[in-house]
Amino acid sequence: MKKESYLTQHQHHRTWLNYLSFYKDEMDIFQRRLDEVVSKHLNDKEVMPQVEHFQNQLILQKEQHDILRHDIKQYENKIEAAYEANPVLAENSRVPGEDELAERVQTFARLFKEMKDAFYHFVARNI
């Protein structure tokens, strides 16, 4: 990643956190849809294992979401501390780790989309 100003890094973090907020809202919607499938197929031995699979996927996604959100906020705290300690230095350097954090955000988004696509195919077949 190229050298960026503190403000640009902060804007990235705000964008990432907004994406994560949107994903959290989507996960709440997924849970409600999954509950609908359960109510219609409670005794269906073919559908219920798939329901359990997606329930587990949601649990994992929520866990990763929370970890990523926490790590972004922690990184933001490091940048703010560096900026408060020495604004000139903070404007001309970067706190290590943002590249890895950006990659994790991209990976989360990709895996979330894959889960979302599979989930909606499942729901479409079972509602």
pLDDT in tens, 57-116: 999 999 999 999 999 999 989 888 877 888 776 666 666 778 899 999 999 999 999 999
Alpha-carbon separation of residue 104 from 37, 68, 111 (angstroms): 31, 8, 10
Q: What's the predicted TM-score (pTM) here?
A: 0.87
Alpha-carbon separation of residue 82 from 6, 15, 78, 96 (angstroms): 10, 21, 6, 11
pLDDT at 1: 44
- Average of per-residue pLDDT values in the chain: 90
pLDDT at 89: 67
Burial class (CB in 10 A: 0-12, 13-18, 19+), 89: exposed
